[in-house]
Amino acid sequence: MCKINANQLTYICEMKNKYIDLIEQSFEFPQDEFKVIDGELYFHDIPMMDVIEQYGTPLKITYLPKISSQIQRAKRMFNVAMAKVDYKGDYHYCYCTKSSHFSFVVEEALKNDIHLETSSAFDINLIEALYDEGIIGQDLYIICNGFKKDTYIENIANMRNNGWINVIPILDNMTEFEDLDLCIKEPTKIGIRIAAEEEPKFEFYTSRLGIRYSDIVPFYMNKIKESTKFSLKMLHFFINTGIRDNAYYWNELAKCVSVYCDLKQVCPDLDSLNIGGGFPIKNSLIQDYEYEYMAEEIIAQIKSMCQQRGVPEPNIFTEFGSFTVGESGATIFQVLDIKQQNDRERWYMVDSSFMTTLPDTWGIKQRFILLPINKWDCQYQRVFLGGLTCDSQDYYNAEAHANAIFLPTIKDRTDPLYIGFFHTGAYQESIAGFGGIQHCLQPAPKHIIIDKDENGEYFTKLFSKEQTYKSMLKILGY
Ligand SMILES: Cc1ncc(COP(=O)(O)O)c(C=O)c1O
């Protein structure tokens, strides 16, 4: 018979197979926003179990202070980058409203002396609502992107005609210039969006958004130069894949700055380069993005290219969406039950749907940081997460850093496990919708806001209750 001696017994007792061991062995942990006390997770020092006890699940959370700290961080990074190379232009931070239109998000962002970027007609109504509330003034830069239908053109024109001196429509195509000309009466700054080349592995060569490189200078010379109403102030470019340290990004940036220099030589009003959004967020506990380096490299490259061409360096605008709001969000579920469907596939069924609450996990296989809220002292096992719709695509089965997920073991449904997806604050409601009808009539979760008071103590506030059946039936005509 095999006997275990005292040494082996000590070893077995010390075996590190708890969930917390898995995390501590795989990552630097704790991290800035995550720590664990007595087997339970704290997000920004807030005990998540207390929040769950108060509000239940499924639950969406917005932690407002993160929005301001992200904006301040980006401003600091770009200003430091500019100081390092004695850059002559200014830096302007715009928030791109499409990443989260909620009033509490936009209002928090606006506490940080920023500007706004819009994508459609209703965005202009949103901005006017902020103005009516006295939250913003008419001198804010309002960068109007997107392909413009009549209502968008009219709303932009009304803004400008009503005193918004820094509204800057960015021409997405050449005909928009004539459309704007018909409605706008006041002298107006405009911009042009460059149609960037797509990444080589993408399905198209050139972005459908913007005006092709080779058309920009001739278009300016033929149409805009002679205008007494419009002055071309900004060149805009946005790279779909975000700001990455790869040859594709640096190549597109260089092409864009080259067009800027060509244009500047014939267009003295031009003084700003908008490099769009695309700063990434943390979607794994492995942090490998060097934000400072990227900001410094972008600024240094723009400066050096402009110097070579004898062109004054432009003011820089950014329009960070995910970076502003993504890391403020969390989505909390309860595991309702376990389903063991064969020897290897063990499903944890959550109390909501991935397709309706985190649509990017389904649409673009986006990964978010996934952590249990309780049971960090339990052993872990490999699982698949299943959502509540009947759609076979309603699942989550991999992390950004691993093609699998591991969570604490539970006995059965009497043994509740809570899990959190973190940094889910950008785009999820814009894409899935909020409060409408949803797949299999899964209700939108309760949404709470967490903020800090003047003493640095956190407090929570209910923004919206879980959606009711009545609201859905009404939409459906019952
Ligand atoms: C023109 C423009 N600017 C900014 C953004 C924001 O990008 P991100 O959320 O990656 O910062 C987008 C996103 O689609 C965009 O199209």
Ligand 1 center–CA 348 separation, angstroms? 34
The verdict on 219 and 197 lying in the same domain is yes
Considering the domain architecture, whether residues 117 and 159 belong to the same structural domain is answered as yes
CA of 461 to the centre of ligand 1 (A): 29
Q: Are residues 340 and 448 in the same domain?
A: yes
pLDDT at 155: 98
Do 106 and 46 fall into the same domain? no
- 338 and 308 fall within a common domain: no
Neighbours of 9 (CB within 10 A): 10
CA–centroid distance, residue 96 to ligand 1 (Å): 7
Q: Mean pLDDT in the chain?
A: 95
Q: What number does the ligand 1 atom closest to the CA of 277 have? A: 11
What's the rounded mean pLDDT across residues 92-116? 98
Over range 419-435, report the average pLDDT. 96
The ligand 1 atom at the shortest distance from the C-alpha of residue 427 is: 9
| Domain's final residue, options 280, 300, 320 | 320
Distance 200 CA to ligand 1 centre (A): 20
Task: Report the pLDDT value the prediction gives residue 5, as an integer from 0 to 100.
Answer: 58
CATH of the domain at 297: 3.20.20.10
**CATH number, position 414:** 2.40.37.10
145 and 253 both lie in a single domain = yes
- In DSSP terms, 449 is beta-bridged to 62, 461
Give the count of domains, the chain: 2
How far away, in angstroms, is 300 Cα from ligand 1 center?
Answer: 22
| 364 located within any domain | yes
Show the 3-state SS of 152-172: HHHHHHHHHHCCCCCEEEEEC
Question: Which residue has the CA at smallest separation from atom 4 of ligand 1?
Answer: 277
Question: 307 and 205: one domain?
Answer: yes
In the numeric block, the tokens 């009516």 are attached to 132
Domain boundary among 274, 304, 320: 320
Task: Pick the atom of ligand 1 nearest to 322's CA.
Answer: 9
Same domain? For 303 and 344 the reply is no
Of 9-18, 30-39, 167-176, 441-450, which range is least confident? 9-18
- Evaluated on CA atoms 303, 306, 307, 308, the torsion sign reads positive
* Residue 249 reports pLDDT greater than 70: yes
The predicted model gives 241-249 an average pLDDT of: 94
Same domain, 342 and 297: no
Which of 98, 198, 323 most suits a substitution to test ligand 1, by most atoms within 8 Å of the C-beta? 98
Question: Average pLDDT in the 255-282 region?
Answer: 97
User: Please, which residues have CB within 8 angstroms of residue 411's CB and are 6 or more apart in sequence?
Assistant: none
CA distances from 354 to 102, 105, 366, 384, 444 (A): 21, 23, 11, 12, 11
Note the pLDDT tens digit of each residue in 188-213.
Answer: 999 999 998 888 888 888 899 999 99
- Identify whether 10 is part of a domain: no
- Based on the fold, state whether residues 134 and 22 are members of the same structural domain: no
Is 234 domain-assigned? yes
Please write the tens of the pLDDT for every residue from 297-317. Answer: 999 999 999 999 999 999 999
Query: What is the rounded CA–CA span in Å between residue 108 and residue 382?
Result: 39
Residue 371 lies in a domain: yes
The dihedral built from the CA positions of residue 421, 422, 428 and 433, taken in this order, carries a sign that is positive
Question: Rounded to two decimals, what is the model's pTM?
Answer: 0.95
Which atom number of ligand 1 is nearest to the Cα of residue 242? 10
Give residues (CB < 6 A) around ligand 1. 96, 99, 117, 145, 238, 242, 276-279, 319-323, 426
3-state secondary structure at position 455: coil
Give the pLDDT score at 6. Answer: 53
Give, using CA atoms, the residue closest to atom 7 of ligand 1. 277
Same domain, 271 and 370: no
For residue 39, the CA-to-ligand 1 centroid distance in Å is 38
Let me know whether 450 and 301 are in one domain.
no
Pick the last residue of a domain from 295, 320, 345: 320
Spatial contact of 154 and 106, defined as CB atoms under 8 Å apart = no
Q: How far is the CA of 448 from the centre of ligand 1 (A)?
A: 25
Q: Whose CA is nearest to atom 10 of ligand 1?
A: 278
Domain span at residue 121 reads: 87-320
- Is residue 299 situated within a structural domain? yes
* For residues 428-448, average pLDDT: 96
Q: Tell me whether residue 291 is in a domain.
A: yes
In a domain, 338, yes or no: yes
pLDDT > 90 in the chain, percent: 91
CA of 292 to the centre of ligand 1 (A): 20
